[in-house]
């Protein structure tokens, strides 16, 4: 195969996939982005690739893996920082394209760009700090009785090429150069991204910024590829390709489960880290409600409509005690929701799914529609908030009321007391977040916290779940169906662990040991030595 030189012009849109940095125009149909505000079709049209191109990208990635996994942490850190610099340098060209394809407001796009760049730089810092190695050394004890102990050392190594599926709702932070890609590249894994069809121009701009960084650092060309593919066939081909060793996905439960099933059916099953479904329940205890019922009701709506409700952590479910304070909470929420006009949704498909979900609540005999926002004729693909209410008995009787309605919809459930709250929480599906509005000494708080940590990846007190800080202590994950693997996180520095595996080295000659395990510690990292953490 003849491979041209990778492009260094990241702002030129071609409508092509990037396979090993080379523009490849797919011939399996076309897709165009649509501006959700105006309804206008955007150019260029993107040619869709097929199974042959998946195979080409995967083979290039496997070839690249042999040397890329052995690059030094410092070299990979510099590579990630160059990607960050290239994305930041896109400036208005990137911002304008994201807005045109998604309808997101300027502050959100600028903020998400900053988060994307920040994630890349965060993982560069992780590489330089060195804890990701997981280095452990248990020296030999030749005089131990009754049997001598061999020299045993451990470090983590890269899994292999990773397939990443771009998310619809975060065109930057969870897409081509998002947290999955950043953490996989940091781990030493080549990445193949299947771009989301809702924002192909944004995806190409970011893809070319990554490809330019690959070329700049003279890395193997297969370290990164970007594919535009239609339907499920390309995604399935990617997940089932024998060269792919892990998958990162953010999207619907149906899509995530399909990828999990495909990965499990392989002769060599591989891990799929799929973020899929969460309604992020909020529990407002009597003390907090008594102090600020109206304010909390207004804050609830503000959280629900953030990003037109198209956030993984949007609060789709709120529990409040029966009584006057609960009524004050809902009254304030109704008034706040009525003031909100319809805002853009990312795609017509997402809007249709939202309408179906809201209609199911409307048609439910035990559910009341408390409020709806106002229409907005200026937005072609838009949605206004829909706020619903029911009681605990109705909620417990119908599991369908736990289903996620992706968009600005939320259901408030009145309960008897905090004991019933804890019982309901214990029976909920796994969640990304659980939020408690309470004080530490309020009766029931400790029981709810204990139940919350069993049902979610993040427990919040006296706040709202929308907004995810990209820091070392963050977990953006949770028990099924929030994710397919509750042991991982897609945000924060622990995300790198998904794409590493531990290897023990027994009685390996000193000259052959990896740098992270050598006695002289040339990397200068902290290691566990005889069970004690030290930089020795």
Which tens digit of pLDDT belongs to each residue from 362-389? 999 999 999 999 999 999 999 999 999 9
pLDDT, position 211: 98
pLDDT digits (tens, 9 = 90+) for 149-178: 999 999 999 999 999 999 999 999 999 999
Asked whether residue 4 carries a pLDDT value surpassing 70, the answer given is no
The answer to whether the CB of 152 falls within 8 A of the CB of 158 is: no
Ordered structural domains, the chain, with CATH: 17-276+489-497 (3.40.605.10), 282-461 (3.40.309.10)
CA distance 298 to 274: 32
- Please, which residues have CB within 8 angstroms of residue 444's CB and are 6 or more apart in sequence? 285, 417, 418, 419, 421, 422, 438
End-to-end CA distance of the chain: 48
Known active-site residue 312: yes
Residue whose entry in the numeric block shows the structure tokens 């195969």: 1
Token couple for 428: 């909920």
Asked whether residue 481 carries a pLDDT value surpassing 60, the answer given is yes
Residue from 101, 204, 275, 404 carrying the catalytic annotation: 275
The pairing of beta strand 272-275 with beta strand 246-250: parallel
According to DSSP, residue 70 is labeled T
Mean pLDDT of the 60-72 span: 98
Token couple for 286: 């009597």
Note the pTM of the prediction, 2 decimals.
0.95
Asked whether residue 135 carries a pLDDT value surpassing 90, the answer given is yes
DSSP states of 241-288: -TT--EEEEES-HHHHHHHHHHHHTSSS---EEEE------EEE-HHH
Known active-site residue 189: no
Residue from 53, 101, 112, 312 carrying the catalytic annotation: 312
Is 436 buried (19+), middle (13-18) or exposed (0-12) by CB count in 10 A?
Answer: buried
SS3 62: helix
Asked whether residue 395 carries a pLDDT value surpassing 90, the answer given is yes
pLDDT digits (tens, 9 = 90+) for 483-530: 999 999 999 999 999 999 999 999 999 999 999 999 999 999 999 999
Q: In 133-285, which ranges are continuous DSSP H helix?
A: 179-187, 200-216, 233-240, 253-264
pLDDT digits (tens, 9 = 90+) for 314-362: 999 999 999 999 999 999 999 999 999 999 999 999 999 999 999 999 9
């Amino acid at each position: 195969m003849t491979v041209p030189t990778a492009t260094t012009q990241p702002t030129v849109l071609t409508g092509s996939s990037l396979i090993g940095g080379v523009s490849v125009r797919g011939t399996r149909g076309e897709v165009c982005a649509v501006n959700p505000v105006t309804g206008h079709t955007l150019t260029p049209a993107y040619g869709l690739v097929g199974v042959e191109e998946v195979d080409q990208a995967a083979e290039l990635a496997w070839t690249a893996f042999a040397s890329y996994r052995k690059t030094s942490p410092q070299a990979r850190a510099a590579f990630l920082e160059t990607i960050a610099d290239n994305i930041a340098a896109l400036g208005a060209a990137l911002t304008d394209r994201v807005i045109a394809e998604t309808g997101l407001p300027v502050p959100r796009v600028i903020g998400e760009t900053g988060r994307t760049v920040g994630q890349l730089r965060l993982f560069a810092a992780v590489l330089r700090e060195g804890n990701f190695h997981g280095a452990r050394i248990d020296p030999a004890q030749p005089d131990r009785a009754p049997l001598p102990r061999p020299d045993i050392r451990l470090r983590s190594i890269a899994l292999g090429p990773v397939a990443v599926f771009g998310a619809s709702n975060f065109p930057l932070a969870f897409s081509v150069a998002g947290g999955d890609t950043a953490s996989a590249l940091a781990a030493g894994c080549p990445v193949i991204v299947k771009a989301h069809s809702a924002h192909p121009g944004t995806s190409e701009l970011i893809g070319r910024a990554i490809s330019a960084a690959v070329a700049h650092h003279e890395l193997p060309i297969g370290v990164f590829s970007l594919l535009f593919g239609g339907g499920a066939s390309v995604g399935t081909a990617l997940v089932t390709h024998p060269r792919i060793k892990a998958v990162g996905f953010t999207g619907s439960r149906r899509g995530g489960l399909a990828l999990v099933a495909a990965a499990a059916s392989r002769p060599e099953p591989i891990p799929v880290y799929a973020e899929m479904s969460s309604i992020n329940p909020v529990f407002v205890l009597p003390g907090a409600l008594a102090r600020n019922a109206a304010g909390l009701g207004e804050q609830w709506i503000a959280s629900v409509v953030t990003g037109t409700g198209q956030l993984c952590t949007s609060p789709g479910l709120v529990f409040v005690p029966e009584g006057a304070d609960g009524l004050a909470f809902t009254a304030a929420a109704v008034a706040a929701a009525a003031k909100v006009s319809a805002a853009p949704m990312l795609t017509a498909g997402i809007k249709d799914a939202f309408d179906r979900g809201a209609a199911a609540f409307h048609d439910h005999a035990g559910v009341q529609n408390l409020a709806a926002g106002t229409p907005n004729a200026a937005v072609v693909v838009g949605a206004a908030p829909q706020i619903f209410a029911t009681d605990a008995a109705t909620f417990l009787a119908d599991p369908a009321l736990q289903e996620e309605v992706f968009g600005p919809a939320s259901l408030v459930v009145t309960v008897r007391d905090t004991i019933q709250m804890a019982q309901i929480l214990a029976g909920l599906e796994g969640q990304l977040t659980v939020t408690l509005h309470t004080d530490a000494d309020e009766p029931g708080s400790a029981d709810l916290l204990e139940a919350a940590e069993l049902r979610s990846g993040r427990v919040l007190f006296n706040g709202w779940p929308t907004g995810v800080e990209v820091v070392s202590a963050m977990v953006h994950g949770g028990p099924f169906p929030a994710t397919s693997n509750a042991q991982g996180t897609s945000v924060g520095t622990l995300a790198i662990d998904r794409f590493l595996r531990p290897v023990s080295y027994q009685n390996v000659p000193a000259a052959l040991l990896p740098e992270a395990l050598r006695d002289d510690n040339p990397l200068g990292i902290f290691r566990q030595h005889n069970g004690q953490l030290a930089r020795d």
